[in-house]
Structure 1
């Protein structure tokens, strides 16, 4: 029996169990998603060849007619977006030590993709909903459907702009020239979310259309930002 635990542009994600009882996350490609087929193949190509404690582990895949499934290790605490910015029932109490550990772990996973993986990998969609948290709140970067392989012989890749508004590096959004810096900018936005408890998603921009980076700049110093205003669980110092 499977329970739906999330949805995205790719399709739905379900919780299931292997025969030995091991919990797993099953990502099912939406039959209506033409883009999803490319994302499906990209994700298999990219994530099947890399292993790191801060990257979600691909257990297997299945293609049967129109059914396309990716099977991942299960993250007990869902995503950072739910833990930090979600509803009262999903929000998790994250003190500064836990928040710092999540940022450091995510940075470690990114550093592996950028500097150690062969070939190098640019994720292109670093955001809170793509950072999964296991039972110990260890962060794992997930959703490699937009990732690009980045050979050492190139300085940038000219490509269509892909990612999530509010997390896109300005130079990448304007010129379509992809470098590792695009991920680093997105990671910086993620850190601001972790510190401030505010979301950078388009749905939260408000009437002034300020994304989180502009909002923080407007208030000048992070000390004036109310912490975790969207997280009813609050924060312990």
Structure 2
């Protein structure tokens, strides 16, 4: 019953953002930076309110390590609540690479479009290349992007070595790559057969890998460095 109530609560407060979405759509889109800052607080607020309703305790450390300007956040992926956690607590406008199926969800897809998110069809390799190009363009326009280099949710299992492909967003845009370690979100849903429960969740920002440090490294070496920095903060 609690799970259904939280779902309905999330739907209700999302619908209530419709007037603000229409306002966001009218804001000048170029340059993107000011627009991103203006609209970011709406999805941030919704995300925090939903997490708060689960009575989950969130601990955030390391925000001071995030460099100025656009960055690529590379995070481990434990559960569905990871996206709400990042939207709510990173304190920066962020966009995601999302599955194409999310485009079927009204209002959510519109907010994601305003946040410069890009959608991927995993069954289409050629389309995946276009996604990288779109993500690079979002970074160059001033939006921060988030990737989950594991490629799937671990659901509390061991963190999987990172795939190097998605990190090309950062290297091609020549922006800092910032490791993010999430711990505990799987306990909010995946560990309970789909029932929402409160949990103790942490989000830790690790040491960024700057462009001057990775410019002469191979893609897999970059992926390995970020993987180790994420894993080192996973307790």
Normalising by structure 1, we get a TM-score of 0.29
Structure number with the bigger relative contact order (C-alpha 8 A, sep ≥ 6) is 2
Higher percent of residues as strand? 1
Higher percent of residues as helix? 2
Normalising by structure 2, we get a TM-score of 0.29
